[in-house]
Amino acid sequence: MILRIRGPRTFCAGIARGPRGALAAILLLAAAAALPGCGYSSRGLYPAGVQTIALPLFDNQTYERGLESDLGEALVKQVVTRTPYRVADGSVAQSTLTGTIRRAARRSLALTRTGGVPEEVEYAITVDFTWADASGRRVFSEAVGLQQVGTHAPAPGLGEPEAVAVQNAIERLAADIVDLMRSDW
């Protein structure tokens, strides 16, 4: 039984006639498969062969005490919940995430008309980090000047404490760092 298709000939139908056409169709398909397409990749989001990560406290170069502990705790939570890695001691971990807290700064966003008392304050934290294999020779991800902010309303008696803004900035930084640990698309 012969199947006949009526209507306009398609590009592939015209190529696939005879041995030369079959060879041309195979070469066309091979060329199309070799082209990168639309940003998709067959590799994973994370480096192969890495199952553990050490998270030592970041170096704190600011006068704000405790930022390194709070950021370390937030990083552990983010890594455990959002990545395939187990947090391990530095002596046995296959990779290490190190960093420095470079800056912590407050800035008034809005002042009251009477008296100039801050109604909303921004708290910004800036860090640098590097995620590398245990030997430090292969860097998986790094950033310089990564910054996040948190805000609070310090109205006397009713307002939020500055700790709210600090915690928001720290949680956002930890989430950003974990986002940057994923491979680029």
Q: Which residues of the chain have pLDDT under 70?
A: 1-25, 27-44, 110-112, 115-118, 155-157, 183-185
CATH class of 52-180: alpha beta
- Residue 165 has a pLDDT of 85
**Which pLDDT value is given to residue 159?**
72
Residue 15: predicted pLDDT:
47
Task: Judge whether 54 and 89 are in contact, CB under 8 Å.
Answer: yes
Residue 11, pLDDT score: 46
Q: What is the pLDDT of residue 7?
A: 42
Whole-number pLDDT of residue 160:
78
Task: Kindly report, as residue ranges, where domains of CATH 3.40.50.10610 are found in the chain.
Answer: 52-180
pLDDT value, residue 164? 86
SS3 content of the chain, % helix, strand, coil (to 5): 30, 30, 40
- Residue environment code for 149-185, b if the CB has 16+ CB neighbours within 10 A, otherwise e: bbbbebeeeeeeeeebbbbbbbbbbbbbbbeebeeee
How far is Cα 99 from Cα 97, in angstroms, rounded to an integer? Answer: 7
Q: Global pTM?
A: 0.72
